[in-house]
Amino acid sequence: MPSLAKPFAAFGAAAGLFAILGLGSFREAAREVSPLTPMIATAVVGALAGETLRRWRRLHSPKLAREAVVLWVGIITSLAGMASGGLVGLITWGPDGFLRFAVGGAAVGLAFLPSCLVVFDAAKRAGRARHGSLVAATDRRTVFSTVLSGIAFAGATQVPAVLSANTSAALAPLVQVVLSLVACLGSTVAIIALQRQDLRSRATLEAHAKDAAWLEPASLDEEAAPATTDSVDLGLGADRWTRTSDANYRHSGRADVVLRGSVERAMEAFDECARRRHRSLVVAASGLTAVSVAFALRVSVFL
Q: Residue 159: which of 30, 3, 63, 18 has the closest Cα?
A: 18
pLDDT at 198: 87
- Give the DSSP H/E element, type plus range, for residue 112: none
Out of 264, 280, 296, pick the residue that ends a domain: 264
Q: Is 253 left (phi over 0), alpha (psi -120 to 50) or beta?
A: left
Domain that residue 73 falls in:
1-125
Question: Is residue 218 assigned to a domain?
Answer: yes
Q: How many structural domains compose the chain? A: 2
Predicted confidence (pLDDT) at residue 82 exceeds the cutoff of 60: yes
Please name which of 123, 136, 140 lies closest in space to residue 236, comparing C-alpha atoms: 136
Q: What angle do CA 65, 69, 70 make, to 5 degrees?
A: 115
Arithmetic mean of pLDDT, 160-167: 79
Q: Do 116 and 217 reside in the same domain of the chain?
A: no
Alpha helices by DSSP H, 28-112: 28-31, 36-55, 66-93, 95-111
Specify whether the CB–CB gap between 245 and 228 falls below 8 A: no
Is residue 277 a part of any domain in this protein? no
Mean pLDDT value across the chain: 79
Residue 153 lies in a domain: no
Is the residue at 167 inside a domain? no
For the segment 70-80, the average pLDDT, to the nearest whole number, is 89
| pLDDT band at 124; cut points 50, 70, 90 | confident
Which pLDDT score is estimated for 186?
93
Longest CA pairwise span in the chain (Å): 82
Write down which residue in 106, 125, 144 finishes a domain: 125
105 and 4 within one domain: yes
C-alpha to C-alpha distance for 2 and 8, rounded to whole angstroms: 12
23-27, 112-116, 152-156, 172-176: range with highest mean pLDDT: 152-156
Backbone angles phi, psi at 231, to 5 degrees: -70, 155
Q: How far apart are CA 76 and CA 10, in angstroms?
A: 17
Whether 2 shows a pLDDT value over 80: the answer reads: no
Distances (CA, A) of 83 to 6, 17, 46, 89: 18, 15, 10, 10
Inside any domain, residue 159: no
Please indicate, yes or no, whether residues 219 and 101 belong to a single structural domain of this protein: no
| pTM given for the model | 0.78
Q: Determine the Cα–Cα distance for residues 205 and 269; give it in Å rounded to an integer.
A: 11
- pLDDT tops 70 at residue 85: yes
> Per-residue b/e over 221-238, b at no fewer than 16 CB within 10 Å?
ebeebebeeeebbbbbbe
| Amino acid 286: pLDDT | 92
